[in-house]
Structure 1
Amino acid sequence: MTTEPPVAPTPATWDPQQYLRHSGHRTRPFLDLLARIPDLPAERDGAARPIRIADLGCGAGNVTALLADRWPTARITGFDNSPDMLATAERDHAGPTRGGGHLDFRPGDAQEWTPAPASYDLIVSNALLHWVPDHAASFDRWIDGLTPGGTFAFQAPGNFAAPSHTLLVELLTSPRWHERLAGARERAAVLEPADYLNRLLDLGCTADVWETTYAQLLPGEDPVLDWLKGTTLRPVLTELADDDDAREEFLDEYRELLRTAYPTGPHGTVYPFRRLFAVARKAAPTG
């Protein structure tokens, strides 16, 4: 008996403008995460050294800039593996901050990224980890790269059981598309909150883990499809980028499924979205 080799996932290309079309709803979970991050070691200790922050999966840099609002003297670096996203972040947000800090952006892939050569007071990640297979295996090296008493914090979508995602899986595995779009099927996922909590506690951190489902009210025609074009659909749109007819055929099929699952109401279209959050503080020396 022989088996076919697994199909390599499609490296998605990203469209910063499409992603930012729903920036208000996409930013809100990061603001909720930011509000739960405690003071950083340099703040608590009154140290003269600058605060150092890494933002993994910085995207277009719009949420990275919010870190500079909270820590205006910090040296903040955003890392992303999308050249298009980095170019937008560099253009719109790089440079000195109002408090004398600095924002910069560099290429980096979360699967391989290591916080070196210096340590960070905060490593934060917003809406990235669901794209990274076995991401929890990297927690130990990221936490190793924190200063004592530093914080690792992340927010990730946990909406994979929602109709928007289950219908997409059904469509991708249908007879019409299962061969053509095999590389566009989602490979990564997230853990349950209790699993994240236990992993972070096992690494010696104190941790706060929770989840929230946002009842997002989206305006306009087919807004759930428009939302997904900025994120979940990126591998599909990348795979079909050179075939306009196939791309429109796929989007038409998916659009009809989404219209049934998320009907437009008198105030717009409600798109419930579950998010997972974690804030973990590395132990500091005692005595």
Structure 2
Amino acid sequence: MSASPTWDPALYVRFGDHRGRPFFDLTSRIGAESPSHVVDLGCGPGALTAALADRWPEALVEGVDSSPDMIAAADRTTPGRPRLSFRLGEIVAWEPEDDVDVVVSNAALQWVPGHQALIGRWLEQLAPGAWLAVQVPGNFGAPSHTLLRELAESSQWERRLRGVLRHSDAVGEPAEYLELMLAAGWEADVWETTYLQVLAGEDPVLNWVRGATLRPVLDALTPEEGAQFEEQYNQLLLDAYPARDDGTVFPFRRIFCVGRKPDGLAYLV
């Protein structure tokens, strides 16, 4: 997918419970007791970063995001907390300061081509005892994505959307992230989970993908074209994800990777 889509913070948090659960499943595996400097890369609108500040109130907690709208939303929703801050920045340009001992990136690295090399650099740069926790979506083979790709490659849209979507190399498989950590000498805990999300309302899957997956397409089209594309795409989604009386089931696979750089003092818990 495109590395720099535009973002609508209100739209992104519309499914806050579903988007937040993987974050807490990820960070619950971090065993740090009293870190000094925690960084959340791709922090979005900041509510989940604030949860890190709640967990470690003595730590400096910093959120970094490439979207000015997301950083503005984070500043608005978490005022008056001197040890919690947010700043604009690109993940690819970020390097850990010497005191950074917890790094979290939740559902952000799929937007960064070649992020495995970036993770490898962090594994080398972070100090002994540091923790790294990463979560990326693993659903690029799901109907929501294959149908999007097929429509974008159709005769009507191929010229306008050529090169906008990337799926085959957006993320690795769990074994790839495990090997990255083990090869760097880290202790590693890697797993995957498929959440069977029950979405409510009209056109629920379309509304879900508007928050992230569909952003590069809409950025590339005019508003009129975007509305036409959405209408065609939504018909495909309604067939692929039929509504039930109790909602629409939307399976979502996530890949998790948590590691600690050994210093001989602690282990994954």
Which TM class, normalised by the smaller chain length? over 0.9
Whether 1:84 and 2:95 are equivalent positions in the alignment is: no
Separation in 2 of the partners of 1:214 and 1:179?
35
Deviation (angstroms), 1:236 = 1.1
Whether 1:263 and 2:242 are equivalent positions in the alignment is: yes
Whether 1:200 and 2:181 are equivalent positions in the alignment is: yes
* Aligned counterpart, 2:99: 119
* Aligned counterpart, 1:75: 60
Separation in 1 of the partners of 2:127 and 2:93?
20
Q: Which amino acid aligns with 2:57?
A: P
* Aligned counterpart, 1:66: 51
Query: Among 10, 13, 16, which residue is 1:20 paired with?
Result: 13
* Aligned counterpart, 1:213: 194
Separation in 1 of the partners of 2:74 and 2:232?
34
Q: 1:73-222, aligned counterparts within 5 Å?
A: 73-96=58-81, 102-116=83-97, 118-186=98-166, 188-222=169-203
Structure 1: tracts of 5 or more residues without a match: 1-7, 44-49
- Determine helix, strand or coil for the equivalent of 2:19: helix
* Aligned counterpart, 1:3: none
Separation in 1 of the partners of 2:193 and 2:253?
6
Contact 1:123 1:142 in 2 (8 A): no
Q: Which amino acid aligns with 1:104?
A: S
Separation in 1 of the partners of 2:46 and 2:182?
30
- Determine helix, strand or coil for the equivalent of 1:160: coil
Contact 2:123 2:181 in 1 (8 A): no
Contact 1:54 1:122 in 2 (8 A): yes
Q: Deviations over 1:252-275 (max 9, x none)?
A: 000000000000001000000000
- Cα distance, 1:278–1:91 mapped onto 2, change above 3 Å: same
Q: Considering only CA atoms, is the larger Rg found in Structure 1 or Structure 2? A: 1
* Aligned counterpart, 1:35: 28
- Cα distance, 1:279–1:74 mapped onto 2, change above 3 Å: same
Deviation (angstroms), 1:94 = 4.5
- Determine helix, strand or coil for the equivalent of 2:28: helix
Contact 1:156 1:276 in 2 (8 A): yes
Contact 1:81 1:109 in 2 (8 A): yes
Q: Deviations over 1:114-140 (max 9, x none)?
A: 113x33110010001111111110123
Q: Deviations over 1:54-105 (max 9, x none)?
A: 1000011111011012111110111111111111011112442xxxx61101
- Determine helix, strand or coil for the equivalent of 2:225: helix
Contact 2:3 2:111 in 1 (8 A): no
Deviates more, 1:205-214 or 1:129-138: 129-138
Separation in 1 of the partners of 2:231 and 2:37?
46
Structure 2: tracts of 5 or more residues without a match: none
Deviation (angstroms), 1:183 = 4.1
- Determine helix, strand or coil for the equivalent of 2:92: coil
Separation in 2 of the partners of 1:10 and 1:92?
26
Q: Which amino acid aligns with 1:180?
A: R
Q: 1:274-285, aligned counterparts within 5 Å?
A: 274-284=253-263
Deviation (angstroms), 1:27 = 0.1
- Determine helix, strand or coil for the equivalent of 1:265: coil
**Identical positions, percent:** 51
Deviation (angstroms), 1:111 = 1.7
Separation in 1 of the partners of 2:66 and 2:224?
29
Q: Which amino acid aligns with 1:58?
A: C
- Cα distance, 1:76–1:139 mapped onto 2, change above 3 Å: same
- Determine helix, strand or coil for the equivalent of 1:152: strand
